[in-house]
Structure 1
Amino acid sequence: MTPPVTPSTRRFRVVDSPIGPLTLTWDDERDAVVGVHVHDQREREPDPAFGVPDDGACAGLDALAAELDEYFAGERERFSVPVDPPGTAFSRAVWAALAEVPYGSVTTYGALAAAVGKPRAAQAVGTANARNPVSLLVPCHRVVNAAGEPSGGGPGIARKRLLLALERRTP
């Protein structure tokens, strides 16, 4: 069972990125990243849940910021920082399956639903995907609709396209 999340155990840092400012959230109790949010992301947690501003002493946030820099530079395809996003059992199952979608590849909501054993739950998968609190690390941008187009919440369609182009090294 996932331990309860309390903002008092969290610290956050805002970093710049090619898709805009990101709020990175670390939970000391979980010893893991619990949030990577684009500043205008629709499904992000309320600001108090981010905890206290990092004083620059969090090695986990240092490692995450460095790995994100490498990702955006095209030098990293998988993240190694510990990730433990809070969510329901279903959401966590969706995110675990999503984490297996290879860099530069895409899957559909329907295929992801089938991967978690719920082939008729594509809409619920879409909701879990949009509420993914660790976007980029659990690559919600790699999920497309049945027509093969980026859609839905999370970081937004324009950012999803930018991230997919980055991963495919296309302009």
Structure 2
Amino acid sequence: MNTNTYTAVYQAPIGTMVIISNGDAIIEIDHINHEEPITENPDKLCEQATKQLDEYFSGSRTAFDLPLSSKGTPFQEAAWLALQTIPYGETISYGEQAKRMENPKAVRAVGGANGKNPFSIVIPCHRVIGANGTLTGYTGGMSRKEWLLDFEKQNSEK
């Protein structure tokens, strides 16, 4: 197993993101909400993620095909797996996600797990909304969540 990490900075239409690889898989894709400089040393996986994000933001990609490696609890891993079943351009509630995980009372825990999702956009936690249809919680910020949902809705209607 590779013990190095490789980093790329990605300029998305919704702000700067960081992509981190361990050489075998992508281990993080996240929004950057600080001004600290990041030293870039991308590998082929970071470049592959950059290419797929470019395709996503151009409207030509609706699903990602990247090797991902996460380190979550079994519950978090189950929540992140459930997120990947939400079709592009659609949304579900936290309650619906909990039901899909066969744990309908775990609505708050689902929200917490989604907040720890290490793969922004690629694992689409932005597609989960409040039961009443309102936008709630997104570690990338509510304006980014709203932008992503609007972007996907517009592209799915084409």
TM over 0.5: yes
Distance 1:85 1:53 in 2: 22
Deviation of 1:153 after TM superposition, in Å, equals 3.0
Distance 1:124 1:105 in 2: 22
Q: Distance in 2 between matches of 1:146 and 1:9?
A: 42
How far is the alpha carbon of 1:103 from its aligned partner? 0.3
**Aligned pairs, number:** 153
1:2-21 equivalences under 5 Å are 8-21=3-16
TM-score (norm 1): 0.83
Which of 84, 95, 119 pairs up with 2:69? 84
C-alpha distance in structure 1 between counterparts of 2:125 and 2:41, whole Å: 29
Counterparts of residues 109-124 of structure 1 (less than 5 Å) = 109-124=94-109
- Summarize deviations over 1:7-46 as a string: whole Å, max 9, x none: x532211110011000001122xx11111110129xxxxx
1:38 equivalent to 2:31? Answer yes
Asked whether the equivalents of residues 94 and 125 of structure 1 are also in contact (C-alpha less than 8 Å), the reply is yes
TM-score (norm 2): 0.90
Aligned to 2:84: 99
Aligned AA (2:154)? R
1:53 is displaced (CA, Å) by 4.2
DSSP 3-state at the match of 1:101? coil
Q: Distance in 1 between matches of 2:129 and 2:30?
A: 20
Between the two proteins, what is the percent identity of the paired residues? 34
Give the corresponding residue for 1:44. none
Gaps of 5+ in 1: 42-46
Cα distance in 2, alignment partners of residues 55 and 95 from structure 1:
27
1:140·1:154 contact (CA, 8 Å) conserved in 2?
no
In 2, distance between residues paired with 1:11 and 1:55? 5
What does the per-residue CA deviation read over 1:108-152, in whole Å, with 9 as the maximum and x for residues that have no partner? 100101111110000000001111110101001000001112211
Q: What CA deviation, in whole Å up to 9, does each residue of 1:86-125 have, x standing for no partner? A: 2111000000010110000001100101111110000000
Structure 2's unaligned 5+ residue stretches are none
The amino acid of 2:14's aligned partner reads: I
CA RMSD of aligned residues (A): 2.1
Structure 1 position 167 matched with structure 2 position 139: no
